[in-house]
Amino acid sequence: MFSQKVAQQSLRRLAVQQPYAVQFAKMRASPVALALGKGVQTRPVTSSPNTDDPTQILAKQRLNRPVAPHLTIYKPQIGWIGSSLHRISGVALSGTLYLWATAYLASPAIGWHLESASMVAAMGALPVAAKILLKATMALPFTYHCMNGVRHLIWDTGRALTNPAIIKSGWTVVGLSVTSALALAFL
């Protein structure tokens, strides 16, 4: 079986290098002679060995590529800042929710008291300024994410996608979210 594979590979190599010699080799050459490459024309290697460090080849090629513009060259605009803050506020809200829910579920095993009565007592013991600051800090990402989510839903319908409308709706969302966050903080 092995000798048959060797003979087939030799015949294929010979067919590529000398197509007309295959028929002649089939009639006269033995499989061993073909396997050893006797009577097969060869050519010397013409490439030179690469002496560069293989890990640095790609780094050198990247230096010749054009560089895309970075955010640092663009003038900040309400459109991309608002969209970035929408994502950041969503991550902050969901991360806070997951941390709070995990702490609430683990609190009986750890010995923490996170039930409603103890949370109301802890909040009631804070000074008024600290209560307002804490509530505003928690309300601002929530109100901004909700208002900007409505803005994104309007964009999904294909409306208000012109530059003046994006700028106007962006500042409207900022104003409404700050106003509603402060209103929630002073309740």
pTM of the model: 0.61
d(CA 164, CA 176): 18
- Residue 147: partners with Cβ closer than 8 Å, 6 or more residues away: 173, 176, 177, 180
pLDDT in tens, 129-162: 999 999 999 999 999 999 999 999 999 999 999 9
Output the CA angle 127-100-174, nearest 5 degrees: 70
Read off the pLDDT of residues 161-185 as tens digits, 9 standing for 90 and up: 999 999 999 999 999 999 999 999 9
Query: Could you tell me which residue, 125 or 14, shows the higher pLDDT?
Result: 125
**In the prediction, which pLDDT does 142 show?**
96
Q: How far is CA 106 from the centre of its chain?
A: 32
**131: Cβ contacts below 8 Å, ≥ 6 apart:** 123
What is the pLDDT, as a whole number, of residue 40? 62
In which element (H, E) is residue 152 found?
helix 128-156
Tokens 């709070």 sit on residue? 100
Mean pLDDT rounded to a whole number for the chain: 84
pLDDT-derived band at 56, boundaries 50, 70, 90? confident
pLDDT of residue 64: 85
